[in-house]
Structure 1
């Protein structure tokens, strides 16, 4: 797109935003945050395709003023927190959706490697999780309770321990993205191979359905969250590898801030998964099928909607905001 066409296409939107920022004419903090993210996208586009244009200076100044309004104002703290999950994170997920899709493709590929490896090597699972874990699983299967491991310990103790461990895995997956994304891929590889090989183990022992009923009650949110955290790590790695028109340091700072926001957005789901594993999964073998399946479908549907569908709805809503009048004459 030519620069003239770019300005003509967006000038009314910029003027509307400029007027709202300087007159403090926003309905709420969510609206301001949404417009700000769209402005940043326009600024990034201009920096990429029109690096010597005066429009970059204008958009920079407008973005700086909007930044002060959003992040320096001390009012509406509660609304800003709500807006973070309601608007800001979904828009970020839309902007970086390719990283999320890539993380899922890698997840399925690595999990398939675990399945194939376990299918072709009877000792593979033992090399991954250890003899003791496998032997305990075999004893549980023979006792008629394949997922008895989730019944050990108290409800609260399991909830706290599991949640802390899952948070640790997610944070490590993100932080290791600083090694050009390779560290993130390593964390994902280890977890996916363990998942794939263990699920094949249950299939081989003819208790696959029983394992699904138990593991995926909490696993839907737990595993999904890890994939999103891996996507955040890939964003961090890509910010170093592909700085674009920014300096590598500036690109890294942008990637780090963006990745941290994506990482933080997974925490409620991680806590929910820990709660389910500590308090609900232990009863999977006695609950009716409809209940266990209902929990799995609802939890998977909720987190899938938030990261894969809701971002499109928010983006569509923003792009339909009407413009007011030309910014340039």
Structure 2
């Protein structure tokens, strides 16, 4: 069957699927499950006979949306918050994994720009961080505690202030995506270049390892979360710029709903990073190397597993369930 005929034959059915997804037609869980099975059959057919067509992309997107709709309308009582983190977010991260890849590529590239700029321009670090901060840090280095800035203020005061600031940066990375992703790119660029120049500054002063032991106790989760928030911002921007087979408004609705969930999922990690920065990082200079290294690697492992490994596990289980239902 030609692709045009295939589309014409199933167009009405797919429109019904769209209505079910956007809530314009009420469907109970059993009806949604039936629609999902039909859609998976159409998707399998399209993947076989039109593997590189936009029809496959369209059907794959509909399938993922209906699957999430089924989870939301299940009759079994489940902890909604648990399901959000256990199933919804991982499936969304898997669906948009290429945007996560783009964000990480941009992260490493812009951090490298910060490092190179700081290396070849003696004034670059002062331009980025400010004279007062650089002078204060140089004094702290002379006193033998380059991370002394993290010991200023009270534990709770630092925790609350830092957490709100990090949430603000994350929100900027995400919501500025509404400017077609350009705003997200700009905020992320600034922060990544700052990080690269910041770390090179400590390397230049001969206290690189001491800075790593301090900064990355909280930085593993904090920086990783910003990358995820940037990913969400790119998804939001792409939904406006590249609506694919949807109307631009429907594409934006889908993009906003999905990206906002990914953005929200970073909150526990951002808050945890703020807690570590307020209560733990200040003692990094007195910690044994093994303890600070353990905290850094442990926190990095948790957030890396959740966003880089777990989505593939959930997706594979979903595929197995759909195969059984067929």
Structure 1: tracts of 5 or more residues without a match: 8-13, 25-31
C-alpha displacement of 1:72? 9.7
CA distance in 2 between partners of 1:208 and 1:129 (Å): 17
What SS does the corresponding residue of 1:145 show, helix, strand or coil? coil
In the alignment, what sits opposite 1:27?
none
CA distance in 2 between partners of 1:254 and 1:281 (Å): 39
CA distance in 1 between partners of 2:170 and 2:146 (Å): 27
Residues 1:72 and 1:115: Cα distance change in structure 2 (over 3 Å): same
C-alpha displacement of 1:79? 1.4
CA distance in 1 between partners of 2:121 and 2:239 (Å): 39
Cα RMSD, aligned residues only: 3.5
In the alignment, what sits opposite 1:128?
128
In the alignment, what sits opposite 2:206?
206
Kindly indicate whether residue 106 of structure 2 is the aligned counterpart of residue 98 of structure 1.
no
C-alpha displacement of 1:23? 8.2
Kindly indicate whether residue 55 of structure 2 is the aligned counterpart of residue 49 of structure 1.
yes
In the alignment, what sits opposite 1:166?
166
Question: What's the TM-score, normalizing by structure 1?
Answer: 0.81
Partner deviation per Cα, 1:27-70 (whole Å, 9 max, x = no partner): xxxxx8xx89x97x969x8994189x9x99xx89x949x84872
8 Å CA contact retained: 2:29, 2:73: no
Q: How does 1:308-323 map to 2 (within 5 A)?
A: 308-321=308-321, 323=323
Structure 2: tracts of 5 or more residues without a match: 11-16, 18-26, 48-52
Report the number of matched residues.
Answer: 295
Runs of 4+ in 1 over 6 A off after TM superposition: 1-4
CA distance in 1 between partners of 2:194 and 2:250 (Å): 37
In the alignment, what sits opposite 1:84?
84
In the alignment, what sits opposite 1:273?
273
Higher relative contact order (CA 8 A, sep 6+): 1
8 Å CA contact retained: 2:179, 2:237: yes
C-alpha displacement of 1:318? 1.2
C-alpha displacement of 1:22? 2.4
In the alignment, what sits opposite 1:70?
72
C-alpha displacement of 1:320? 1.2
